[in-house]
Amino acid sequence: MVHVVPADPQAVVAVKKKAQSSRSWVLLDSTGETTVLDVDKYAIMHRVNIHARDLRILDPLLSYPSTILGRDGAIVLNLEHIKAIITSEEVLLRDPSDENVVPVVEELKRRLPPMNAIQQGQDYTGGQNDVEGDEDESPFEFRALEVALESICSFLAARTLELETAAYPALDELTSQISSRNLDRVRKLKSAMTRLTARVQKVRDELEQLLDDDDDMADLYLSRKLAGTSPVSGSGAANWYLASPTIGSKISRASRASIATARGDENDVEELEMLLEVTPMIYFSC
């Protein structure tokens, strides 16, 4: 006869807690303020209203390709070490203590300042901020997305430069003296460059796939979708225009996109298309 020994209830609870261990996130709101969160996946899913399958893409223990997904109220972003959820008002970034993520957090804090601080800065600097004003007035989700794209592109470009810096002397040395040591060194550098090229290509493939589908790009306009959830009457539209931060100043690209939305042009994706095309080209030749 086989005797079944009942499991220790406390041990079972401990195992369950370990399996559902909390993850570390950093929350950046629209003012640039940061809050470190130590919560489980269910709290994150409830906060940003996404499915478990979307959150699974950001699991560092799983290997998922580069992904940019537009959901009802969030953008799910998986680009190498940058694993983020962007809403129209906040950014959730995974593993904020990672050495590669820390610079991303700092850049987000710098690029997501309070709107009133921007306006005060313009009062003191006059017309010097006219060019930067277009960036400042872009939808929150696009400013966050731009930081993420710039960060991953600059990261991969830096890794490429490091390999190139090591490769040229190795090739010169191999040319001057063919030896097993020099051959092995060049072989390792070539393998590293092949792996890096594949990583860069994965990011480019995701951006190109997104650029090929206007509907997918339209899904990333979170502020536009949020504004479209409530009907706008004639007087409401007038109030919306008066509340726009660009009244009395040059209308930015973001404002034109918002105005296009109020007029019913929900398929205008020009601003996002420019962001997705130009940012990688700054770092990589296409």
pTM attached to this predicted model: 0.71
- For the record, the structure tokens of 135 come out as 């960036």
pLDDT at 227: 80
User: Among candidates 223, 215, 220, which has minimal Cα distance to 258?
Assistant: 223
Q: For residues 222 and 140, what is the distance between their CA atoms, to the nearest angstrom?
A: 9
d(C-alpha 268, C-alpha 256), whole Å: 10
- The confidence band for 229, taking pLDDT boundaries of 50, 70 and 90, is low
Q: CB neighbours (10 Å) of residue 83?
A: 24
Higher pLDDT, 248 or 215: 215
How far, rounded to the nearest angstrom, does the alpha carbon of residue 137 sit from its chain's CA centroid? 18
Specify the DSSP class assigned to residue 110: H
pLDDT band at 252 (very low <50, low <70, confident <90, very high): very low
| pLDDT above 50 for 230 | no
Q: State the DSSP string of 42-86.
A: HHHHHHHT--HHHHHTT-TTS----EEEE-SS-EEEEETTEEEEE
pLDDT(2) > 80:
no
pLDDT in tens, 9-30: 554 444 444 444 447 999 999 8
pLDDT in tens, 126-151: 444 444 444 456 889 999 999 999 99
**What is the CATH T-level fold of the domain 25-118+129-237+251-283, as seen in this structure?**
Methane Monooxygenase Hydroxylase; Chain G, domain 1 (1.20.58)
Residue 243 scores a pLDDT above 60: no
CA 167, CA 187: separation in Å to the nearest integer?
Answer: 10
Of 145-149, 233-237, 266-270, where does the model show the most confidence? Answer: 145-149
Domain ranges for the chain? 25-118+129-237+251-283
Q: Specify which residues 78 forms β-bridges with.
A: 67, 83
Complete DSSP assignment for 171-209? HHHHHH---HHHHHHHHHHHHHHHHHHHHHHHHHHHHHH
Residues 6+ apart with CB under 8 A from 92: 25, 26, 27, 37, 44, 47, 48, 84, 85, 86
Residue 161: predicted pLDDT = 92
For the cut 80, the answer to whether the pLDDT of residue 113 exceeds it is no
**What pLDDT is attached to residue 149?**
93
pLDDT at 10: 52
List, for residues 51-105, the tens digit of each pLDDT value. Answer: 999 999 999 888 888 999 999 899 999 999 999 999 999 999 999 989 999 999 9
Q: Which of 286, 269, 283 is nearest to 139 (CA)?
A: 269
Portion of the chain with pLDDT greater than 90, in percent:
41
For residue 210, pLDDT over 80 is answered with yes
